[in-house]
Copies of this chain bind each other. A is one copy, B any other.
Amino acid sequence: MENPAIILISPQLGENIGAAARAMHNFGLRDLRLVNPRDGWPNRDAADVARNANLIIENTKIYDSVKEAVSDVNILYATTARPRDMVKTVVTPRKCATSLRQYVNSGEKCAIMFGPERTGMSNDDIILADSIVTVPVSADNTSLNLAQAVSVLCYEWFVSGDIMLEEIFVTGESGPATKLEVTMLLENLESELDKGGFFSNPDMRQRMLQNLSNIFTRNNLSQQEVKTLRGVIRSLVGRK
Contacts and interface: CB of A to CB of B under 8 A. Distances in A.
Interface in A126-164: 132, 134-138, 141, 143-145, 148, 151-152, 155, 158-159, 162, 164
A15 to B, nearest CB: 9
A60 B140 CA distance: 19
A26 interface: yes
A27 B170 CA distance: 30
Interface string A86-116: 1111111011000000000000000000000
B148 A86 contact: no
A225 B159 contact: no
B137 A170 contact: no
Contact of A89 (B83, B151, B170): B170
Nearest to A2: B138
A91 B167 contact: yes
Given A168-B90, A170-B90, A26 B85 contact: no
Residue of A23, A148, A165, A225 most packed against chain B (CB within 10 A): A148
A94 to B, nearest CB: 6
A159 B136 contact: yes
B148 A26 contact: yes
A220 B86 contact: no
Copies in the assembly, this chain: 2
Interface in A44-102: 52-53, 82-92, 94-95
Contact of A172 (B86, B148, B159, B225): B86
Interface of A: 19, 22-23, 25-28, 52-53, 82-92, 94-95, 132, 134-138, 141, 143-145, 148, 151-152, 155, 158-159, 162, 164-174, 220-222, 224-225
18 contacts: A23-B148, A26-B144, A27-B138, A28-B138, A52-B141, A52-B143, A86-B172, A87-B169, A87-B170, A87-B172, A87-B224, A88-B170, A89-B168, A90-B167, A92-B166, A132-B170, A136-B158, A136-B162
